[in-house]
Structure 1
Amino acid sequence: MITVPIVIDFEASGFGKGSYPIEVGFSRRHGEGWCSLIRPESDWDHWDVHAACVHRIPRELLVARGKSPSQVTEQLNLQLTGQTVYTDGWAQDYIWMARLYDAADRVPSFRLADLREIISPQQEGLWHATKNQVQEDLNISRHRASNDARILQMTWLRTYDAARCLN
Structure 2
Amino acid sequence: MSAPNAPPIFIDIESSGIARGSFPIEIGWARPVIMLDGRVELDVRSVLVRPSDNWLADPARWDSSAEPVHGLSREILLRDGRPLSDVCEMLDRTFDGAEVASDTGMGGWDDDWLLTLYEEAGRAGRNWDLAEKQSGGVVARQFRALGLDPRVVRPALAPWLPPHSHAAAEDALRFAWEWGMAEILARSDLVGRPDADLVAMLRDLPAVVPPARWPQAASHETYRRRASREAQSA
Structure 2 length normalisation: TM-score? 0.61
Unaligned segments of structure 1, at least 5 residues:
none
Is contact 1:27-1:33 (8 Å) kept? yes
Equivalent-residue separation in structure 1 for 2:66 and 2:115 (angstroms): 20
Residue 32 of structure 1 corresponds to which residue in structure 2? Answer: 43
SS of 1:111's partner is coil
Q: Is residue 2:191 matched to residue 1:165? A: yes
| Equivalent-residue separation in structure 2 for 1:19 and 1:88 (angstroms) | 18
The number of residue pairs the alignment matches comes to 163
Report the Cα offset of residue 111 of structure 1.
2.1
Partner residue in 1 for 2:90: 75
Give the aligned partner of residue 135 of structure 2.
Answer: 115
RMSD: 2.6
8 Å CA contact 1:123–1:159 kept in 2: the answer is: no
Verify: 1:44 aligned to 2:70, yes or no. Answer: no
- SS of the residue aligned with 2:154? helix
CA contact (8 A) 1:131 1:155 kept: no
The 8 Å contact of residues 9 and 24 in structure 1, kept in 2 or not, is answered as yes
CA contact (8 A) 1:20 1:96 kept: yes
Q: Corresponding residue for 1:93?
A: 110
In the TM superposition, residue 40 of structure 1 has moved relative to its aligned partner by: 0.8
What CA distance in whole angstroms lies between the structure 1 residues aligned with 2:79 and 2:89?
Answer: 20
Provide the TM-score with structure 1 as the length reference: 0.83
Aligned pair in 2 of structure 1 residues 111, 15: CA closer, same or farther (>3 Å)?
same
> What is the percent sequence identity of the aligned residues?
30
Poorly superposed stretches of 4+, deviation over 6 Å:
none
SS in 2 for 1:33: strand
- 2:162 pairs with 1:135: yes
8 Å contact 1:27–1:146 — kept in the other structure? Answer: yes
55 and 162 in structure 1: CA distance in 2 versus 1, 3 angstrom threshold: same
Using the TM superposition, give the Cα deviation of residue 166 of structure 1 relative to its aligned residue in structure 2, in angstroms: 4.7
Greater CA deviation, 31-40 or 123-132? Answer: 123-132
User: What's the CA shift for 1:6?
Assistant: 1.0
The amino acid of 1:165's aligned partner reads V
- The alignment partner of 1:50 has SS state of helix
**Conserved in 1, the CA contact under 8 Å of 2:27 and 2:168?**
yes
CA contact (8 A) 1:21 1:38 kept: yes
Q: Per-residue displacement from partner, 1:16-45 (whole Å, max 9, x unpaired)?
A: 201110000111232112211001112224
Change in 2 beyond 3 A, CA 1:147/1:153: same
After superposition, the Cα gap between the structure-2 partners of 1:156 and 1:29, relative to the gap in structure 1 and judged at 3 Å, is closer
Q: 1:131 to 1:22 in 2, by over 3 A?
A: farther
Q: Which structure: greater helix fraction?
A: 1
Match of 1:105, SS state, is coil
CA distance in 1, matches of 2:136, 2:166: 22
Larger Cα Rg: Structure 1 or Structure 2? Answer: 2
Amino acid paired to 1:25: G
Residue 158 of structure 1, CA deviation = 2.8
- Code of the residue aligned with 1:88 in structure 2: it is D
- Per-residue CA deviation, residues 101-129 of structure 1 (Å, 9 max, x unaligned), is 11112222222112244224832454355
